[in-house]
Structure 1
Amino acid sequence: MPADHFLKRQAMSDFIICYDITDPRRLGRLYRYLIKRAVPLQYSVFLFRGDDRQLERCIQDAIELIDEKQDDLRVYPLPGRGLKARIGRPTLPEGIQWSGLPAKW
Protein backbone atom coordinates (compact mmCIF):
# COMPACT_ATOMS: atom_id res chain seq x y z
CA MET A 1 0.00 0.00 0.00
CA PRO A 2 1.48 3.42 -0.94
CA ALA A 3 2.54 5.68 1.91
CA ASP A 4 0.40 8.57 0.63
CA HIS A 5 -2.69 6.39 1.13
CA PHE A 6 -2.51 7.11 4.87
CA LEU A 7 -2.15 10.84 4.28
CA LYS A 8 -5.50 11.15 2.53
CA ARG A 9 -8.37 12.55 4.54
CA GLN A 10 -10.63 9.77 5.80
CA ALA A 11 -13.21 11.96 7.55
CA MET A 12 -16.86 11.50 6.68
CA SER A 13 -18.32 14.32 4.59
CA ASP A 14 -21.69 15.10 3.02
CA PHE A 15 -22.17 15.48 -0.72
CA ILE A 16 -25.11 16.25 -2.95
CA ILE A 17 -25.25 13.96 -5.98
CA CYS A 18 -27.67 14.99 -8.71
CA TYR A 19 -28.23 13.97 -12.27
CA ASP A 20 -30.12 14.57 -15.50
CA ILE A 21 -30.32 11.35 -17.51
CA THR A 22 -31.81 11.36 -21.01
CA ASP A 23 -32.59 7.65 -21.36
CA PRO A 24 -35.24 6.01 -19.11
CA ARG A 25 -33.28 2.75 -18.89
CA ARG A 26 -30.08 4.48 -17.76
CA LEU A 27 -32.14 6.66 -15.42
CA GLY A 28 -33.58 3.58 -13.73
CA ARG A 29 -30.20 1.92 -13.41
CA LEU A 30 -28.59 4.98 -11.86
CA TYR A 31 -31.52 5.52 -9.50
CA ARG A 32 -31.41 1.89 -8.31
CA TYR A 33 -27.66 2.17 -7.81
CA LEU A 34 -27.80 5.42 -5.82
CA ILE A 35 -30.80 4.47 -3.67
CA LYS A 36 -28.59 1.77 -2.11
CA ARG A 37 -25.80 4.23 -1.29
CA ALA A 38 -27.40 7.60 -0.59
CA VAL A 39 -30.56 9.20 0.76
CA PRO A 40 -32.97 10.51 -1.89
CA LEU A 41 -33.89 14.13 -1.20
CA GLN A 42 -35.86 14.91 -4.37
CA TYR A 43 -36.20 13.42 -7.82
CA SER A 44 -32.64 13.03 -9.12
CA VAL A 45 -31.06 14.53 -5.97
CA PHE A 46 -29.33 12.43 -3.30
CA LEU A 47 -27.41 13.06 -0.08
CA PHE A 48 -24.27 10.92 0.11
CA ARG A 49 -22.24 10.60 3.30
CA GLY A 50 -18.81 9.03 3.16
CA ASP A 51 -15.08 9.57 3.00
CA ASP A 52 -13.14 10.48 -0.14
CA ARG A 53 -12.49 6.85 -1.04
CA GLN A 54 -16.17 5.90 -0.74
CA LEU A 55 -17.24 8.90 -2.80
CA GLU A 56 -14.70 8.13 -5.51
CA ARG A 57 -15.91 4.53 -5.70
CA CYS A 58 -19.55 5.61 -5.83
CA ILE A 59 -18.92 8.11 -8.61
CA GLN A 60 -16.73 5.74 -10.64
CA ASP A 61 -19.44 3.07 -10.48
CA ALA A 62 -22.13 5.64 -11.37
CA ILE A 63 -20.12 6.80 -14.40
CA GLU A 64 -20.28 3.24 -15.72
CA LEU A 65 -24.09 3.52 -15.76
CA ILE A 66 -24.42 6.75 -17.74
CA ASP A 67 -23.59 8.06 -21.20
CA GLU A 68 -21.14 10.89 -20.57
CA LYS A 69 -22.01 12.51 -23.92
CA GLN A 70 -25.76 12.69 -23.24
CA ASP A 71 -26.19 12.61 -19.46
CA ASP A 72 -25.22 14.96 -16.64
CA LEU A 73 -23.98 13.72 -13.25
CA ARG A 74 -22.86 16.27 -10.66
CA VAL A 75 -21.41 16.09 -7.15
CA TYR A 76 -21.34 19.04 -4.76
CA PRO A 77 -19.59 18.94 -1.37
CA LEU A 78 -21.58 20.34 1.54
CA PRO A 79 -19.74 22.38 4.15
CA GLY A 80 -19.12 20.59 7.42
CA ARG A 81 -20.32 23.65 9.27
CA GLY A 82 -23.03 25.93 8.13
CA LEU A 83 -26.75 26.07 7.64
CA LYS A 84 -28.40 22.90 6.37
CA ALA A 85 -32.15 23.30 6.29
CA ARG A 86 -35.22 22.23 4.42
CA ILE A 87 -38.47 24.00 3.73
CA GLY A 88 -41.62 22.13 2.83
CA ARG A 89 -42.54 18.48 2.79
CA PRO A 90 -40.28 16.18 4.83
CA THR A 91 -37.92 13.84 3.00
CA LEU A 92 -38.64 10.93 5.33
CA PRO A 93 -42.05 9.73 6.59
CA GLU A 94 -43.43 11.32 9.76
CA GLY A 95 -41.90 9.87 12.91
CA ILE A 96 -38.67 8.82 11.22
CA GLN A 97 -35.69 11.11 11.72
CA TRP A 98 -32.17 10.86 10.45
CA SER A 99 -29.70 13.02 12.32
CA GLY A 100 -27.92 14.04 9.11
CA LEU A 101 -31.01 15.84 7.79
CA PRO A 102 -32.41 19.01 9.35
CA ALA A 103 -35.85 18.57 10.93
CA LYS A 104 -37.12 22.06 10.06
CA TRP A 105 -35.98 25.46 8.89
Structure 2
Amino acid sequence: MAQNDTARYLVTYDIADPKRLSRLFRFLKKQGVPIQYSVFLVESSAAKMASLMVKIAKMIHKDADDVRAYRMPENGWQVSLGASILPEDVLPGAGSR
Protein backbone atom coordinates (compact mmCIF):
# COMPACT_ATOMS: atom_id res chain seq x y z
CA MET A 1 0.00 0.00 0.00
CA ALA A 2 1.41 3.36 -1.03
CA GLN A 3 1.51 6.18 1.51
CA ASN A 4 -1.28 8.06 -0.31
CA ASP A 5 -3.64 5.11 -0.91
CA THR A 6 -6.65 5.22 1.37
CA ALA A 7 -7.60 2.41 3.70
CA ARG A 8 -9.98 1.94 6.58
CA TYR A 9 -8.71 2.04 10.14
CA LEU A 10 -10.41 1.22 13.42
CA VAL A 11 -9.36 3.68 16.10
CA THR A 12 -10.14 2.58 19.63
CA TYR A 13 -9.48 4.32 22.89
CA ASP A 14 -9.73 4.08 26.66
CA ILE A 15 -9.23 7.50 28.23
CA ALA A 16 -9.01 7.86 32.02
CA ASP A 17 -9.99 11.53 32.36
CA PRO A 18 -13.49 12.69 31.31
CA LYS A 19 -12.13 16.00 29.98
CA ARG A 20 -9.56 14.29 27.74
CA LEU A 21 -12.17 11.73 26.73
CA SER A 22 -14.56 14.45 25.59
CA ARG A 23 -11.81 16.30 23.73
CA LEU A 24 -10.66 13.14 21.91
CA PHE A 25 -14.24 12.16 21.02
CA ARG A 26 -14.93 15.58 19.48
CA PHE A 27 -11.65 15.42 17.57
CA LEU A 28 -12.31 11.92 16.20
CA LYS A 29 -15.85 12.84 15.13
CA LYS A 30 -14.21 15.23 12.66
CA GLN A 31 -11.97 12.44 11.35
CA GLY A 32 -14.28 9.45 11.06
CA VAL A 33 -17.53 7.74 11.99
CA PRO A 34 -18.31 6.49 15.50
CA ILE A 35 -19.04 2.76 15.25
CA GLN A 36 -19.43 1.91 18.94
CA TYR A 37 -18.51 3.55 22.20
CA SER A 38 -14.79 4.33 22.01
CA VAL A 39 -14.49 2.95 18.45
CA PHE A 40 -14.22 5.00 15.25
CA LEU A 41 -13.87 4.02 11.62
CA VAL A 42 -11.48 6.37 9.83
CA GLU A 43 -10.82 6.29 6.10
CA SER A 44 -7.38 7.74 5.51
CA SER A 45 -4.02 7.33 3.84
CA ALA A 46 -1.17 5.86 5.85
CA ALA A 47 0.58 9.24 5.89
CA LYS A 48 -2.51 11.07 7.16
CA MET A 49 -3.14 8.33 9.71
CA ALA A 50 0.38 8.75 11.06
CA SER A 51 -0.23 12.49 11.36
CA LEU A 52 -3.55 11.84 13.08
CA MET A 53 -1.89 9.59 15.65
CA VAL A 54 0.76 12.24 16.36
CA LYS A 55 -2.03 14.74 17.08
CA ILE A 56 -3.80 12.24 19.32
CA ALA A 57 -0.55 11.52 21.20
CA LYS A 58 -0.43 15.20 22.15
CA MET A 59 -3.99 15.04 23.53
CA ILE A 60 -3.61 12.05 25.84
CA HIS A 61 -1.55 11.04 28.85
CA LYS A 62 0.55 8.05 27.83
CA ASP A 63 0.63 6.57 31.34
CA ALA A 64 -3.14 6.72 31.89
CA ASP A 65 -4.75 6.47 28.44
CA ASP A 66 -4.72 3.92 25.64
CA VAL A 67 -5.36 4.67 21.94
CA ARG A 68 -4.92 2.09 19.19
CA ALA A 69 -5.39 2.11 15.42
CA TYR A 70 -5.82 -1.01 13.33
CA ARG A 71 -5.75 -1.06 9.53
CA MET A 72 -8.67 -3.09 8.23
CA PRO A 73 -8.07 -5.58 5.40
CA GLU A 74 -9.53 -4.37 2.11
CA ASN A 75 -11.64 -7.48 1.61
CA GLY A 76 -12.03 -8.30 5.29
CA TRP A 77 -14.99 -10.15 6.69
CA GLN A 78 -17.39 -8.23 8.90
CA VAL A 79 -20.68 -8.96 10.61
CA SER A 80 -22.87 -6.92 12.95
CA LEU A 81 -25.14 -8.40 15.59
CA GLY A 82 -27.54 -6.54 17.83
CA ALA A 83 -28.51 -2.90 17.92
CA SER A 84 -26.33 -0.46 16.01
CA ILE A 85 -25.87 3.16 16.96
CA LEU A 86 -26.07 4.03 13.25
CA PRO A 87 -28.80 3.32 10.71
CA GLU A 88 -27.74 0.54 8.32
CA ASP A 89 -27.55 2.84 5.29
CA VAL A 90 -25.13 5.13 7.14
CA LEU A 91 -22.51 2.48 7.84
CA PRO A 92 -19.37 3.21 5.83
CA GLY A 93 -18.83 0.85 2.95
CA ALA A 94 -22.32 -0.61 3.02
CA GLY A 95 -22.60 -2.27 -0.32
CA SER A 96 -19.34 -0.80 -1.68
CA ARG A 97 -16.53 -3.25 -0.91
Alpha-carbon spacing, 1:47–1:101, altered in 2? closer, same or farther (3 Å): farther
1:15 aligns with 2:12: no
Aligned residues: 95
1:100 aligns with 2:93: yes
- 2:54 aligned residue: 60
Which of 44, 48, 71 matches 2:65?
71
- 2:77 aligned residue: 83
1:29 aligns with 2:23: yes
User: Partner of 1:64: helix, strand, or coil?
Assistant: helix
- 1:5 aligned residue: none
Query: AA paired with 1:97?
Result: V
Deviations 1:36-85 (A, max 9, x none): 10110111000011111111111111111100111001111111112122
What is the TM-score with the length of structure 2 in the denominator? 0.86
Query: AA paired with 2:11?
Result: I
What is the TM-score with the length of structure 1 in the denominator? 0.80
Deviation at 1:93, TM superposition (A): 3.0
Structure 2 gap ranges (5+)? none
Percent of aligned positions that are identical: 34
User: Partner of 2:27: helix, strand, or coil?
Assistant: helix
Deviation at 1:99, TM superposition (A): 4.5
Higher relative contact order (CA 8 A, sep 6+): 2
Deviation at 1:97, TM superposition (A): 3.0
